[in-house]
Amino acid sequence: MRARRPLSRRLGLGGRTGVALLAAGIGVLSPFAAVSPASAQQATDAAGTWAKPPQVDRGALPNDTRRPDKTYKQKTGCVQRSLDNNVPINIIPWGQAYLQLDKAQQIVKAAKGTIGGDQKIAVVDTGVTPHPWFQGRVESGGEYVANPTNHQPGGLQDCDGHGTEVAGIIAGNPQDPKVGFIGVAPDATIVSYRQLSENYSEDTSSNSSSNTGQPGGQQGGQQGGQPGGQNGGQLPPSTGGGGQVEGTGPQQDNNGDTRQLQKEGTAGTLDTLAQIIRGIADRGDIKVVNMSVDHCRAADGTGSIQKGEQEVQAAVKYAADRDVVVVAAAGNVSDTCPQNDQPDPNKPKSIVTPPWFSDDVLSVGAIDQSGGVASFSVHGPWVGVAAPGTDIVSLDPAEGSTGLANLTINNGQQSKIQGTSFAAPYVAGLAALVRSMYPNLNARQVIQRIEATAQHPAAPGGRDDFVGYGVIDPVAALTANLPGDVGMLAPPKPVVQAAQLPPADSTSSTPMIVALAGTGGGVLALLITLFVMHTIRRNRPNSSPG
């Protein structure tokens, strides 16, 4: 099923007029704008199904240890940049144009003077490389893969290349008019938590207690850890200097990003994910979190829940209750995560965490350039909204890079960057803009606003299991007047409009002179006409006899 094009385009409304009409009318014209996500979810989840998780066990909430749960060691080299063939990528990414992000950013800039500059967004991923196009707006959140060093604080090395691309979509800012790419909230601050890596694995050696793994930096990133060497690590010219190099761990492939938590031979567990979410909620200064990481397992048909899933469920509930918007990728189809294409959507083949906990998580599916659902995007009753997830352009994640990437190398083959991992940051960035625009809204109201203003699919209740409530509409999310907004949004301030009439001039006699002259002229003309007519009649010969 394909997601519909934005309403303003389908009605032929272009430019500011179309956006204004859409924003003004969506609360009245859309029969789904006031649909409650919770009520729709309850209607979908009939008794006896296992699409909805069990009740939250608050006792499962873990404490944040702020360290890796195991001892990991680096097994493959980190992503490298092309040393000779950096090709500029100056096009505007299609997803950026599709969502009309330029208009949305103009709205926020005009109202707030900054585009998300008052927001901190946590990125729980493979780490974030401090790319120069972040302008120093990347902070260390925590390191859960390897022990941090003085050379690179925790969370600020991205050996896999995934987290930097995700963070770039949220807050990258080239500050160059020649570059088409820009992040959704280009003034926001990224707080990076490295929680997952496919380039690390558990160290089972006898001396693992003292070997905490190679934390990265120059040795692991560009020298000793590179099996392919410099020549083997160079990328073809068309990559723009980004992507995966020979000898490193796998990144995205043609079916989407297949990285998974608790995957054998990798770093990252549901336990540390839950710890991080709890720690973010306890900080208090982070109000949006993006998790482009997930755990997918086969549904057992009993509705049971695993220990790690319980911990994450308790953590996202804890965060939502403390006013944190939790955004998560819906997951990608793989050999271990089959598509939910069964006849009964409430009896799924695959369960994806954290999206499963949709009461407290906004999960994001992916669409492609046609507007249709991406083939790799996992379906499910927990899908909240959708966003672009194919043909991605973002910041080059390699250490020392100063450009963009649009391709990755997987098993020696070029692949486009794609996955629900890259749809989620579009939504996280939008959530930050909504929080900036409407600071009185709490986390659940922000999510409801994003869902209510999405371009709803043609399905009962205005949602389906493919794109949820639809493809996000940033302009509508920032401007629409929705039912229930009274009391939530700051009331508009009345503006006194100055009169533009010309000032009175009572001292000038010119108008009177003109008026009298006109009247006198008219009287004179009338007298002349009467005189002429009288003279003609008097001098006419008398034609009567005698």
The fraction of the chain above a pLDDT of 90, given in percent, is: 59
Residue 425 lies in a domain: yes
Collapsed DSSP state (helix, strand, coil) of residue 503: coil
Nearest to 478 by CA among 111, 72, 75: 111
CB count in 10 Å sphere of residue 540:
8
pLDDT of residue 110 exceeding 90, the answer is: yes
Of 344 and 6, which is predicted with more confidence? Answer: 344
Strand locations in 401-459, DSSP E? Answer: 404-405, 407-410, 413-416
The pLDDT value recorded for residue 47 is 40
pLDDT in tens, 404-433: 999 887 666 788 999 999 999 999 999 999
Joined tokens for residue 456: 């709803």
pLDDT of residue 70 exceeding 80, the answer is: yes
Distance between CA 130 and CA 349 in Å, rounded? 39
Residue 307 CB-density burial (10 A; 0-12 exposed, 13-18 middle, 19+ buried): exposed
The pLDDT value recorded for residue 173 is 98
Distance between CA 40 and CA 532 in Å, rounded? 93
Distance between CA 52 and CA 347 in Å, rounded? 10
Distance of CA 528 to the CA centre of its chain: 84
The pLDDT value recorded for residue 33 is 40
Residue 501 lies in a domain: no
List the Cα angle 219/220/222 in 5-degree steps: 70
Across the range 136-140, mean pLDDT stands at: 97
Joined tokens for residue 37: 């996500």
Distance between CA 148 and CA 156 in Å, rounded? 9
Residue 530 lies in a domain: no
CB count in 10 Å sphere of residue 113:
10
Across the range 28-41, mean pLDDT stands at: 40
Joined tokens for residue 109: 């800039």
The pLDDT value recorded for residue 498 is 57
The fraction of the chain above a pLDDT of 70, given in percent, is: 73
Across the range 62-86, mean pLDDT stands at: 84
Active site amino acids: 125, 162, 421
Domain count, the chain: 1
pLDDT of residue 5 exceeding 90, the answer is: no
List the Cα angle 380/381/384 in 5-degree steps: 95
The pLDDT value recorded for residue 270 is 97
Residue 508 lies in a domain: no
List the Cα angle 161/163/165 in 5-degree steps: 70
pLDDT in tens, 211-248: 444 333 333 333 333 323 222 233 333 233 333 333 44
Backbone φ, ψ for residue 200 (5° rounding): -120, 155
Of 524 and 168, which is predicted with more confidence? Answer: 168
Distance between CA 226 and CA 81 in Å, rounded? 12
pLDDT in tens, 296-355: 999 988 888 999 999 999 999 999 999 999 999 999 999 999 999 999 988 999 999 999
The pLDDT value recorded for residue 149 is 65
Average pLDDT, the chain: 81
Distance between CA 235 and CA 84 in Å, rounded? 9
Radius of gyration in angstroms for the set of CA atoms belonging to the chain, rounded to a whole number: 32
Q: Is 213:203 a contact under the CB 8 Å cutoff?
A: yes
Q: Is 432:327 a contact under the CB 8 Å cutoff?
A: no
Contacts of 525 (CB under 8 A, 6+ apart): none
The pLDDT value recorded for residue 526 is 84
Instruction: Decide the pairing of beta strands 200-202 and 72-74.
Output: antiparallel
Residue 484 CB-density burial (10 A; 0-12 exposed, 13-18 middle, 19+ buried): middle
Distance of CA 2 to the CA centre of its chain: 20
Residue type, 545: P
Residue 490 lies in a domain: no
pLDDT of residue 6 exceeding 70, the answer is: no
Residue 41 lies in a domain: yes
Q: Is 427:271 a contact under the CB 8 Å cutoff?
A: no
With left for phi above 0 and alpha for psi between -120 and 50, is residue 193 left, alpha or beta? beta
The pLDDT value recorded for residue 9 is 43
Residue 498 lies in a domain: no
Residue 305 lies in a domain: yes
Q: What is the CATH number of the domain that holds 432?
A: 3.40.50.200
User: Does the pTM exceed 0.95?
Assistant: no
Q: Is 389:422 a contact under the CB 8 Å cutoff?
A: yes
CB count in 10 Å sphere of residue 50:
18
pLDDT band at 514 (very low <50, low <70, confident <90, very high): confident
Residue type, 64: D
Eight-state DSSP code of residue 493: P
Across the range 110-139, mean pLDDT stands at: 97
CB count in 10 Å sphere of residue 322:
16
Q: Is 429:184 a contact under the CB 8 Å cutoff?
A: yes
Q: Is 483:449 a contact under the CB 8 Å cutoff?
A: no
Q: In terms of residue numbers, what domain contains 59?
A: 7-479
Backbone φ, ψ for residue 193 (5° rounding): -120, 115
Of 3 and 175, which is predicted with more confidence? Answer: 175
pLDDT in tens, 432-474: 999 999 999 999 999 999 999 999 999 999 999 999 999 999 9
